[in-house]
Structure 1
Amino acid sequence: MKLFSKEQIYEGDKLTTERQKISSTELMERAGTQIFNWMHTRMQGAQVPIHVFCGIGNNGGDGLVLTRHLITHGYNVVSYIINCSDKRSKDFLINYDRVKNVTKDWPQMKGCKEELDTIKIGADDIIVDAIFGIGLNRPPNDWVQSLFQKFRASKAFTLSIDIPSGLYTDEAVKDENAVVHAHFTLSFQSPKLVFFLPETAQFTKEWEVLDIGIDRDYLIETETVVELIAKREVLPLYKPRQKYSHKGNFGHVLIIGGSYGKIGATNLASRAALSSGAGLVSAYVPKCGYHSLQTAIPEIMVVTDENETNISSINFEIEPTVIGIGIGMGTSDSTAKTFESFLKSNKTPLVIDADALNLLSKKKTLLQLLPDLTILTPHPKELERLIGKWSDDFEKLKKAKDFSKKYNVIVVIKGSNTITVYHDKLYVNTTGNPGMATGGTGDVLTGVISGMLAQGYEPLTATIFGVYLHGKSADIALEDYGYQSLIASHIIENMGDAYMDLFKQSEQAQEEVQKESQQK
């Protein structure tokens, strides 16, 4: 799903009115009606007190359309105008008059804290926030902020229209008290990037997209810098195996890593590479890892360093398709020298994680040695060491983009909604859950992405697909283990179910295509 910028949304609205030959007021009616339909479907006339708070711009106009429909359908509704400026949009004024035509109880004007204090909101009431939309460009007035705090204190269910008021689409929040904390947000046509960033996602617990009929050609043809990745986006990437396939068709992954006490990281990455579909997997570890790996994973081959406790040289005769390196490797002087020597001679595609990232951070001239489209999978602290500190999530994304362009690499920003960065493009993943906040899940991701690369997926595709599968497997595992008991091995064990979910969907799609062709 494309995530449109604020400017693209405005352009889409404008083109829609031109191409569909409708007024902006009619488009607003369409949007407000969709909000009403969403609420009406769920409430079915229930007489819960509904408080609709409207700003004086187009977001407030949407709230007024909703108010009118709630009144005409007999709901227990009171609307308020948050009179924070003398400037009112044309469509707001039109819809204000339309509300006056259906009720004698006109929307109440509120323009200061004293007037807000007269509003009583119960914990079982419903608040509709239609105060500020995506056009907000400055912090709300102090008295408006006090209203937002009143919402929170009431504990009433809060529904925001398009975006929680006070939240910007393209910059960080400086004061969380200046933003509505919504339980649910109804976002027009596409969600907003801020719903998926660690610092701003807290302002809406859930969201849903409402289709308000923006011009289809515009939606299809417009390129966005952010894409939301779910099953629908991944399904076209999936390549079912052919009947006469053999292991040579699916590549050879070499996992390099491990040190005394950290061989388990290599174990997880190797198993994950196998479970993601690699034809062959080898592990290169210090001698201390030989017996445990051979015993634990009979399906892989093991090559050892001469050193007993850590990697001090990297020499192998195999010809891997892809190398995943860094998991559990350590950062000793001998390992650091070996890693540098390896990078100078290596021509094989790389997935770099953990200690290999830390070694790159210590000596950043090594970044120049990375093959094009190398995939880096840092957790937040590793990312900070690579690109430098950031003041907020937007600066973090900018720094990651600049880093990606400078070295022509793919950066995976791991987190609740893992974001894959390649040059100026962002791919926001939708799978995964808090149970993944446990040791080893990052090692599994390294193995999964390495396995996808080995099978012939292009680096960016392998990354996007691998991140999705990794999270989907964890979501499936969650059903049996819950958040607290989920461990990295469970993600590997459920990789097959994640694939089967795609396989079944793919078969259904093929059957539908066949039926359509037969009918023609």
Structure 2
Amino acid sequence: MKIFSKEQIYEGDSLTAQKQNITSTELMERAATRIFDWMHLRMQGAQVPIHVFCGIGNNGGDGLVLARHLITHGYNVHVYIINYSDTRSKDFLLNYDRIKNVTKKWPLLMTNAKELPVINPDDIIVDAIFGIGLNRPIDDWVKVLFQHLRASKAFTLSIDIPSGLFTDKLHADDNEVIWANYTLSFQTPKLLFFLPETAKFTTQWEVLDIGIDPEYLYNTQTTYELVGKMEMLPLYRPREKFSNKGTYGHALIIGGSFGKIGSITLASRSALSAGAGLVTSYVPKCGYQILQTSFPEAMVITDKEEEIISNIQFDIEPSVIAFGVGVGTAHKTIDAFESFLKTNKTPLVIDADGLNILSKKKSLLKLLPKQTILTPHPKELERLIGTWKDDFDKLEKTKALSKKHDLIIVIKGANTITIYQDKGYVNTTGNPGLATAGTGDVLTGVITGLAAQGYEPIVATLFGIYLHGKAADIAVEDLGYQSLIASHVIEALGEAYIDLFKQPEAPQVEEEETEKK
């Protein structure tokens, strides 16, 4: 699913009105009616007080349309106009006149925070104050209103985005933003739903199709895309009947040091479980017995040193090499890695201490093969690109590093975002159970295992992140977040593959309605 920018959303709205021969007011009516349908389906006429707070732009116009439909369907509605400016949009004014025709209780005009409405915890708040067009800090009295709404603890539904958020930069103060329980986003999710500093402002979100021109949606290229099951399924390569282990590539995993052989064991196991035909683990001598015992499916090559990697030499021809898990940053290891990079032509996946070595000696970045895959967690990323002002700045700096050295960079997190050149891909799988030791090693192995099978580097990365997160989602159903460990993710990889071909189950409510009929 594409994630459209603010400018592209405006362009799509305008083109849709033109091609469908409708006015912007009619498009607003359509969009807000979808919100009403969503609420009406769930409330079924319940007389809970609904407080609709409308701005004086197009987001406020959406709120007025919604309020009008709620009123005409008998709901208990209170409408407030947040009069933060002398400028009003045309569609707001038109819908302001329309709502006067359906109620004797006209919207309350608010120009300050001296008399704030009483809102009980069991009430519902609809936030239609600011939309995606906000580009300046809000007034102090509006900030007081936002704090009042949050303090009420009432369920808060935001239209399109929580009011107060910008689409391309971070807000100055958390109190200047509506904290929504649910956000209904028109046509496309917003990038800010997936960034750590802004995702917290909506607990859940949902996209409503408002009929934007399908040709525009299909043909328009976006900077960011949301990656889910439907995007991954077409990329899957089924196995051939007469294939053999050599058909699916040979993954070499280089890593481990004394006390950290577990990390390369996890990475090696996950590479094979992801489908690599062969896996060889390259470890210091202290890791030989551990790997041969705990993971008999792997082949093992040992370094001449007992406790660290000091001289990377092998006589195999791997399809892809992963480096860094548990390897440490000893001087001999850094020198060995540099020597290896100077002669290596094989595709690379680099994680953990491999990334820390690159941070210590950034000149090594020039030696990486094109489309090398880096998988940093936030601190490792910071060492690579420097500090950032906010999440938007982090993405731009990551893009700059990707373009400079032709790298695929995985920004690991709750919504892992992969950057390649100017493009970003937001993953949809995974859960807080992954916040545990070793799961990053597993991800490195999964991506490496897919790359070994011949998947293009960007495809191996996106598919690997998806499968890794999906395996965690499957495993956590039986284990819970706290008890999930990295080995469980490996064990669930097979089910993650199988899930690609499962059809979604029909909602229970539909089954019940069918039985009644």
TM (normalized to structure 1)? 0.96
- Look up the match of 2:515: none
Asked if residue 93 in structure 1 is aligned to residue 97 in structure 2, the reply is no
Deviations 1:338-373 (A, max 9, x none): 010000011100000011110110011000000000
**Who is 1:141 aligned against?**
139
Q: Which runs of 5+ in 2 are unaligned?
A: 505-517
Structure-2 residue corresponding to 1:83:
83
Alignment match, 1:42: 42
2:108 maps to a residue whose letter is: Q
Match of 2:499 among 495, 501, 510: 501
Partner of 1:204: 202
User: Displacement, 1:125?
Assistant: 0.3
Task: Determine the structure 2 residue equivalent to 1:297.
Answer: 295
Give me the whole-angstrom Cα distance separating, in 1, the residues matched to 2:501 and 2:288.
36
1:358 to 330, 346, 356: 356
Q: Aligned-pair distance for 1:19? A: 0.2
Q: Shift of the alpha carbon at 1:240?
A: 1.5
* 2:255 aligned residue (254, 257, 264): 257
Distance 2:482 2:338 in 1: 39
Q: Which amino acid aligns with 1:109?
A: L
Looking at structure 1, the residues matched to 501 and 32 of structure 2 have their Cα atoms a distance apart, in angstroms, of 39
Residue number in structure 2 paired with 1:68: 68
Partner of 2:475: 477
Q: Provide the residue aligned with 1:453 in structure 2.
A: 451
Name the structure 2 match of 1:171: 169
Q: Which amino acid aligns with 2:376?
A: P
Residue equivalent to 1:57: 57
Question: Deviation at 1:445?
Answer: 0.5
Tell me what 2:512 maps to.
Answer: none
Partner of 2:401: 403
CA deviation vs aligned residue, 1:303-358 (integer Å, no higher than 9, x gap): 00011000111111111000000000010011111010000011100000011110
Contact 1:81–1:110 at 8 Å: present in 2 too? yes
1:321-470 maps to which residues of 2 (within 5 A)?
321-470=319-468
SS at match of 2:399: helix
- Cα separation, 1, equivalents of 2:165 and 2:501: 39
SS at match of 2:500: helix
Contact 1:404 1:422 in 2 (8 A): yes
1:173, distance to aligned residue in structure 2 (A): 1.6
Offset of 1:244 from its aligned partner? Answer: 1.6
Give the letter aligned to residue 347 of structure 1: K
SS at match of 2:252: strand
Whole-angstrom distance in 2 between the partners of 1:419 and 1:429: 6
Task: Structure 1: state its 5+ residue gaps.
Answer: 507-520
Counterpart of 1:112 in structure 2 is 112
Match of 2:286 in 1: 288
Is the CA contact 1:253–1:451 (under 8 Å) kept in the aligned structure 2?
yes
Q: Could you say what secondary structure the match of 1:492 adopts?
A: helix
Report the CA distance between 1:246 and its aligned residue.
1.2
CA shift, 1:504, in A, is 3.9
Aligned residues: 504
Match for residue 8 of structure 2? 8
Show the counterpart of 2:514. none
Q: Percent of counterpart pairs with the same letter?
A: 72
Give the aligned residue type for 1:22.
I
- The 2-side partners of 1:173 and 1:80 are apart by 24
Please tell me whether the aligned partners of residues 249 and 279 of structure 1 are also in contact (alpha carbons under 8 angstroms).
Answer: yes
- CA RMSD of superposed structures (Å): 0.8
The equivalent of 2:232 in structure 1 is 234
Which one-letter code corresponds to 1:499 in the other structure? Y
| TM-score when normalising by structure 2 | 0.97
Distance between the aligned counterparts of 1:495 and 1:178, measured in 2? 42
Cα deviation per residue 1:27-65 (whole Å; 9 max; x = unaligned)? 000011000000000000001000000000000000000
Counterparts of 2:317 and 2:483, CA distance in 1: 38
Distance 2:386 2:357 in 1: 15
Q: Note the C-alpha offset of 1:393.
A: 0.4
Amino acid of the structure 2 residue aligned with 1:485: S
TM superposition shift of 1:503: 3.5
Measured in 1, the distance between the counterparts of 2:376 and 2:403 equals 17
Q: Cα gap change, 1:504/1:159 in structure 2, threshold over 3 Å: closer, same or farther? A: closer
Deviation of 1:505 after TM superposition, in Å, equals 5.2
Tell me, in whole angstroms, the C-alpha distance in 1 between the residues paired with 2:287 and 2:411.
29
